[in-house]
Amino acid sequence: MNRKEFIKLSALTGITLGMLPQLAFQSRTISYEELIGKGNPTLFGNGFKLQKEAHDAFIKMKEEALKSDISIKIVSSYRNFDHQNRIWERKFKSFTSTGLSPQDSIKKIIEYSTIPGTSRHHWATDIDIIDAKPKQPKNVLQAQHFDTNGCYGKLKTWMDTNASDFGFYLVYTNAIDRKGFKYEPWHYSFKPLSSLFLSEYKQLNISEILQKEQLLGNEHFSEEFLSKYYNENILDINPELL
């Protein structure tokens, strides 16, 4: 075999090996219950819970970041339906108690929080992260902390350069024309799995799901609202994850 043939074969082998994990993921079955956070997936992690593939990739990423004196810490990972519903009900009651109408309360909630049954955290593929090294502020998940001069600025810069090498991508970017949830520089998704979950999720009818679940305030979920929520909050994300 001459050098040219060897290089060609090596390149093809590399491409094939790179595709194997994705091909393996495509063969898995994702249940309806898993998609809406009511399943019973086998999860992994110490202090956090993720699908095995996402967990293993995160551990490798964390180990690499430590070489740059960055200690990636997950502050939120898998959240089941009931967990998300507790967040939803707490915020709904809090906002309406201040005098906001139910409709305005819902709009306020979905600036950052998802409606139960629609959260990417239900899939155990997504993580909210900080750097455990710096002195911690009172409220860690604030966008300004991830600015260049913020306490997590070093983490954000490192993630911008390296996260995709491990399969992780920012979900809610600061793109000017993006709608839906506000910018979350802490929220990353393990693309090899989450893209498959999203593909399956897009086959569901969220209007039927949310009517069935009888969420607090769901009588204010008009078809117009749900259509906008679906297109902007669920689908208007980092294009790399679609």
Model confidence pLDDT, tens digit, residues 126-167: 999 999 999 999 999 999 999 999 999 999 999 999 999 999
Sketch the domain layout of the chain as residue ranges: 1-29, 31-241
Model confidence pLDDT, tens digit, residues 156-199: 999 999 999 999 999 999 999 999 999 999 999 999 999 999 99
- Cα 242 from Cα 240, distance rounded (Å): 6
- What is the dotted CATH code of the domain comprising 31-241? 3.30.1380.10
pLDDT at position 29, please? Answer: 87
Model confidence pLDDT, tens digit, residues 201-227: 999 999 999 888 999 999 999 999 999
Amino acid at 199: S
Give CA separation, 175 vs 172, 232, 237, 238, in Å.
9, 13, 9, 9
Amino acid at 140: V
pLDDT at position 15, please? Answer: 36
pLDDT at position 130, please? Answer: 98
Whether the per-residue pLDDT at 6 is higher than 90: the answer is no
Model confidence pLDDT, tens digit, residues 70-89: 999 999 999 999 999 999 99
Residue of 75, 70, 57, 115 whose CA lies nearest to 91: 115
User: Counting runs of H as helices and runs of E as strands, what totals does the chain give?
Assistant: 9, 4
Burial track 64-86 (b if 16+ CB lie within 10 A, e otherwise):
ebeeeebebbbeebbbbbebbbe
Are 89 and 117 in contact, with CB atoms under 8 Å apart? Answer: no
Task: Give phi and psi for 170, each to the nearest 5.
Answer: -65, 135
